[in-house]
Amino acid sequence: MTRERLIYMPLGGAGEIGMNAYVYGYGAPGAERLILVDLGVAFPDMESTPGVDLIMPDMNWLIERADRLEAIFVTHAHEDHIGGIAHFYRALGAPIHARAFTANIARGKMVEHGHPPEAIVTVSAWPETVAAGPFTVGFLPISHSIPESAALVIDTPVGRLIHTGDFKLDPTPLVGEAFDPELWVDVARDGVKALICDSTNVFSPHPGRSEASLGPAIETLVERAEGMVVATTFASNVARVKTLAEAGQRAGRSIVLLGRAMRRMIEASAETGVLNNFPQVVSAEEARDLPRDSVMLLVTGSQGERRAASAQLARGKYQGLELKEGDLFLFSSKTIPGNERGVIRIMNALSEKGVDVVDDDTGQYHVSGHANRPDLERIHDIVNPEILIPMHGEHRHLREHVKLAGSRGMQGVLAVNGTMVDLTDVKAKVVDYVETGRSYLDGSVLIGAMDGVVRDRIRMALNGHVTATIILDEEDEPLGDPWCEIMGLPDSGKSNAPLVEVLEADIGQFLSRANEKTLASDATLTESLRRTVRQSAQNEIGRKPEVTVVISRMR
């Protein structure tokens, strides 16, 4: 019999920040019993994924082995950890375990997709554990920016693993449990084989600051404001929403929550009792009748999203509320790379209204939810694992974290998505690489990132599109004139004649000279017409468009 082994393999989240999905397995090679930690999504952008609704990890490897999947564990309720559970529920079919707040959010997603909410199992915090095949898994509280974030303690036949999930070391996190070093020392006391560790902030050299450090500065800012105050942050940053609401309340203002995601998070917090003493809120309708200097709006859209409350307030009214000269708008957030232009667009729109915009340039109004480099070193020291596997990071973060591990006497393993690591022995080794990628939720269809659909969309965006139609009679002779339609191209170019007429004339010329063989073959004719259109457009407007050729034969 082949010796049993313990394996780790990320399917998402290792080589990118977003769409976390980590597989652990134990058993004979190829027959391991599996668990999945987190099943998140990532968000599309116009540059690389136009029109896509959500980006998800390619779960095919696991779907093909769904019969070996014992359970799914979700560390916390952020979209990059929980967003994929309903999409893959049918394909994976395993029970999903989470703490109460996370489970509440998860059940909402299941119901939205028509799946049974009972598939979500609520688990209490460590020392409670769940048996899942050869694994015993417990949810170890850790501070982050959302209630009930947890690391996972994963006991295996060959030793204990700790999977940190997202974390920071915050003694006063406002929501969720404070970091409890003694608890962690206790869990690690008997030795930890491997620490699978968040790497997001490995390049941030200073110790992270506590959520509680923000309140006074925000309160002062709000107190000094003379008009309405608006503050935006990620709705899922429940800690920040609370910090902002409490600072507003202390400054004597009524709090209004705007944006669906904002209200959903606060509701889930209330339903599960994890958010004590959240200030009383008033509705947008009530706020309209209050003096401007007694209102503070907490709104979605900190990343410049065009449809969110922030963008709508910057453009005009939102739920009857409108910003004016002398109001104050606070971005209590960090702009995620790639979202800068959207955020700046909103800042300038607000500036045009005479609204003062404050962002986190000074470092007073935002703290990160992830452990900085010195905090990573502290958790390394507490857990003192034999092996350190960085996760939750782009390649550069993982690589830097591996270097850091090496410099501190640990065995660091660089494992990007699809890398299978054997953790059975003292020395970890890479034993396989699995094809992985991304899938896109596109409208209602799940498509592969490599299917060419998005590539064609990008090409049309860069090059424009021409439809060229010809009709051939029974003798393969052109019937009537060729017909072109353009989309995303200038109406005319060099010759000042309408572009479609230039294209049609060049197609006509081509057809008048084409031989019988060319005219008889759809494939040859399509390719020739495509080339004719592209060359004609290149001459006329200096650009080669995408071309759809339609040949109708009157046979």
The residues of the shown chain that bind a second copy, judged by CB under 8 A, are 15, 45-48, 50-51, 203, 337-338, 340-342, 344, 347-348, 350-352, 354, 357, 361, 394-396, 399, 442-445, 447, 451, 453-454, 456-458, 460-465, 467, 469, 471, 479-480, 483, 485, 487-494, 541-543, 546, 548, 550, 552, 554
Rounded-to-integer distance, Cα 351 and Cα 63, Å: 50
Write the DSSP assignment of 495-529 as a string of letters.
T-SBHHHHHHHHHHHHHHH--HHHHH-HHHHHHHH
- Least separation in angstroms between residue 326's CB and a second copy is 12
- Least separation in angstroms between residue 138's CB and a second copy is 34
- Least separation in angstroms between residue 530's CB and a second copy is 12
Sheet holding 419-422, edge to edge: 120-122, 96-98, 69-73, 33-37, 21-27, 5-12, 419-422, 429-433
Nearer to a second copy, 409 or 480 (CB): 480
Q: Please, are residues 349 and 316 in contact by the beta-carbon 8 Å criterion?
A: no
Nearer to a second copy, 24 or 440 (CB): 440
Nearer to a second copy, 430 or 554 (CB): 554
- Least separation in angstroms between residue 325's CB and a second copy is 11
Torsion, Cα 303 309 312 318, to 10 degrees, reads -170
Specify which residues 135 forms β-bridges with. Answer: 132
- Least separation in angstroms between residue 161's CB and a second copy is 26
Nearer to a second copy, 113 or 396 (CB): 396
- Least separation in angstroms between residue 377's CB and a second copy is 18
Read off the tokens for 294: 């007694």
Nearer to a second copy, 95 or 448 (CB): 448
- Least separation in angstroms between residue 328's CB and a second copy is 14
Nearer to a second copy, 147 or 393 (CB): 393
Rounded-to-integer distance, Cα 128 and Cα 101, Å: 16
Distant-in-sequence contacts of 477-483, Cβ < 8 A, 24+ apart: 477/519, 478/508, 478/511, 478/519, 479/554, 481/508, 482/507, 482/508, 482/511
- Least separation in angstroms between residue 549's CB and a second copy is 8
| Helix, coil or strand: residue 215 | helix
Nearer to a second copy, 263 or 353 (CB): 353
| CA 338 vs CA 45, 179, 227, 345: distances in Å | 8, 32, 31, 13
Question: CB-based contacts of 379: which residues, under 8 Å, 6+ apart?
Answer: 164, 167, 169, 184, 195, 197, 371
Q: How many helices (H) and strands (E) does the chain have?
A: 17, 28
Nearer to a second copy, 284 or 461 (CB): 461
